Copies of this chain bind each other. A is one copy, B any other.
């Protein structure tokens, strides 16, 4: 025993005690339920992979942030830094048997050795869903439906899904002759909300051979406001009413997405066309999604994604176009805490009922009644020690139990139970046969 080891955790990593973990499990379970309801199937892939499989040809940002080491067999291995690269590797291996279209979701931690900060961790959860193996806009429209149903199920009162299409942006860049500079231009455009118009124009014209007039054309398109139809009309107008092929396809897909969502019953205010969102990654080629919380716009998008032309080109010649999005679980939880979301109760028990203990003679009976509650889906814990009632009630308060059940020799002699509503501070005495119904009534 002698010297103790200091129980410290690594910087950028954290424990989830019950009060944090209960809402996290609820968010994940909600996402799982919504994804499944659309037919996305769960998959999982290893945490560790060969480093060259995860890093591809290398040379990018990922080389710097990845946790990489030699394993027991001197293999060069790395921990996954996202769920997309492992999905691409998985698809190359399994899609030949599984067939297309293939819809999957995946949830799990990923690791990035970046500088940690406010709400930024080195270990954090991703929660992705994708449809691959189809070019159909049906899959794109569905992503917007999934996000809508997800945030509705998450009881987020005031969210907005912003949608754009890279084809429209690229169509404009093509029409003004700067399509070859799409990557830096769209990366600059992405900063519009953060740094403002002047800085974006400055960056666009400094970093590339783009003129102020050209940059202005891009920004005009991005800044279109009004109803969805007005924005799409303004986009058309910016092509002199005659969009090129790329832009026409982009407009068509956006209009179809809106129409499907409307017919399917998504409230009109949920989906907004926003031609300023470009998403930094050069990866995306079609529809783009971001999701903002009306009560906390500053936190940024909590669910983002888009359409891509080819998922797994590093590993296979099979062309796998797809579309999907990813829920930022940790960012969402931080936001839910900030907006005092009703799920952030601070409760640290998943069971609402505590059965107090008078004498250990009655333990079998305590557990029998607790099991009758569990059988109807009401969690019930039996306090393990014979302690003063005051200590047991303090425990109930601290954990956030809603109901206490109390019975000692006197009650057992008469077949009675006391039920105490710990929120209203009311107590009733009932027969054992009535316990389940009365407790259900309090819930």
Contact = CB atoms under 8 A, between A and B. Distances in A.
A246 to B, nearest CB: 20
Contacts of A43: 15-18, 21
A364 to B, nearest CB: 2
A193 interface: no
B53 A101 contact: no
A262 B25 CA distance: 33
Interface string A33-49: 00011111111111111
Interface stretch (A129-137, A164-172, A271-279): A129-137
A367 B141 contact: yes
A134 B367 contact: no
Contacts of A367: 141-142, 145, 260, 263-264
Contacts of A379: 36-39
A216 interface: no
B41 A348 contact: yes
A364 B262 contact: yes
A98 B93 CA distance: 46
A348 B98 contact: yes
B39 A18 contact: no
**How extensive is the interface on chain A, given as a class?**
35 or more
Interface stretch (A3-11, A177-185, A295-303, A425-433): A3-11
Contact of A138 (B99, B101, B382): B382
Interface in A347-372: 348-351, 354, 357, 360, 363-365, 367-368, 370-371
Contacts of A131: 384
Given A75-B10, A364-B259, A384 B142 contact: yes
A92 interface: yes
Contacts of A44: 15-16, 21, 24
A439 to B, nearest CB: 13
Contacts of A1: 313
B101 A263 contact: no
B25 A42 contact: yes
Contact of A47 (B123, B141, B142): B123
A69 interface: yes
A200 interface: no
Nearest to A138: B384
Most chain B CB neighbours (cut-off 10 Å) among A17, A265, A380, A386: A17
A18 B42 contact: yes
Given A18-B41, A37-B351, A264-B371, A111 B48 contact: yes
A71 B368 CA distance: 51
A208 to B, nearest CB: 26
